[in-house]
Every structure is written in C-alpha cells, then in structure tokens.
Amino acid sequence: MTNKILLTIIILLLVCALIDWVLPSSIEFTFDNVLFPSLALYAGLLMMLINGTFVTRRYYTIARAAIAAYMLGVVFKILHLTGADQILIISVLLLVILYTLHFVAKQRKKVLDYLKMLTVIFLAAAPLRMLHLVSGEIRYTLDVLHTIIFWITFLVFLKVQWSERKQTDAA
C-alpha cells in the first residue's frame, strides 16, 4: 500500500514538473523546474530505502542519525549559521561510508545493487554543489549524471519489485 501511495506521489510530482516546464515563464508561479523533480527524486529514494535491505541492517540506525544531521546542516546553511558546511560534509560522507559497508558486506550483488551504489556516490556530490566547491560545467555534469543514474536505478527497482510481486502472486 505504501508503495502505491509513493508511486502515485512520484507520478504526480513528475506531471507537475512537466506542467511547470511547459508553462510560459511569464506566469509568476513557477518553480524554475527544480522543486517538483527534486521532490519526486526524494520520494523515489524514500521508496527504495523502505523496500531495500539497508533498513534491516545495523548501519541503518547510524544512517538515520546521519540523515537527520544532513537535514540540520541544510537548515544551518539556509540560515547562514556557522558549522553548516562541516555538518553537511560529515553527514554525507558518513552515509556513503555506511552504504559502502552495507554494499561490500552483501554476499550476492545484483545489477540493482551496483546502481544503488552509484546513486549513493553521486548523491554524495550534493554537498560539493551546495558548498560551491564545484561550479560551472562540472556542477551541471554532476547534476545530470546524478539524475540519469537515479532514474535508471529507480526504473530497474520498479521492474524488480514488479517481477517479485508477480512471482509471489503466482505462487
């Protein structure tokens, strides 16, 4: 049930992104084509996290704390408080390290596992962009690569979920 709700939200956000992209820029209520796709991406990440094996591992408790720290770092960054940069870098590096440990510990790795690892690696580039440590063409390239890799990963995830559901329904 949760998957259907999240998938519906993702589809609605992507439709809103398409509408926002198509609307003329003279309309004053637009989101510069960033908000809706970003929310869809985060909803997709949440859906993959909920259905993945990472939440059942011991790393997940630490990862939740790192995610909370990341959110705090974003708030600090918005409010221009000191320590925001350090919080962002440490929390994202911790998430990457935890997921890498989880990935390495997995006995059987499938294509989806490798794609998820790539997604996490490119997600780690977010603080680099947020802190303006990369700019220009490199920033744009990282954004595009992250988006492409995420949506490929998400589509493979949906295919695997659908295949597993068909197998359980047939049994």
Query: Which residue has better confidence, 39 or 155?
Result: 155
- pLDDT digit string, tens, across residues 24-71: 555 555 445 667 787 888 888 888 888 877 777 788 888 889 889 988
What mean pLDDT comes out for the span 72-81?
A: 90
Give the pLDDT of residue 155.
92
Residues 21, 34: Cα–Cα separation, whole Å: 10
Give the pLDDT of residue 26.
52
Give the pLDDT of residue 3.
81
CA angle 96, 116, 58 (to 5 degrees): 55
C-alpha separations of 132 from 2, 83, 85, 126, 139 in Å: 36, 15, 10, 10, 9
Give the pLDDT of residue 79.
93
Q: Is the pLDDT of residue 162 over 90?
A: no
Residues 74, 28: Cα–Cα separation, whole Å: 26
Q: Is the pLDDT of residue 161 over 60?
A: yes
Give the pLDDT of residue 24.
59
- pLDDT digit string, tens, across residues 119-144: 888 877 777 777 777 777 887 788 88
95: its two tokens:
């998430």
What mean pLDDT comes out for the span 93-114?
A: 90
Give the pLDDT of residue 35.
72
Residues 166, 84: Cα–Cα separation, whole Å: 46
pTM of structure: 0.75
Taking every pair of C-alpha atoms in the chain, what is the biggest distance, in angstroms?
A: 57
Residues 128, 150: Cα–Cα separation, whole Å: 18
Residue pair 52/68 in contact by the 8 Å Cβ criterion: no
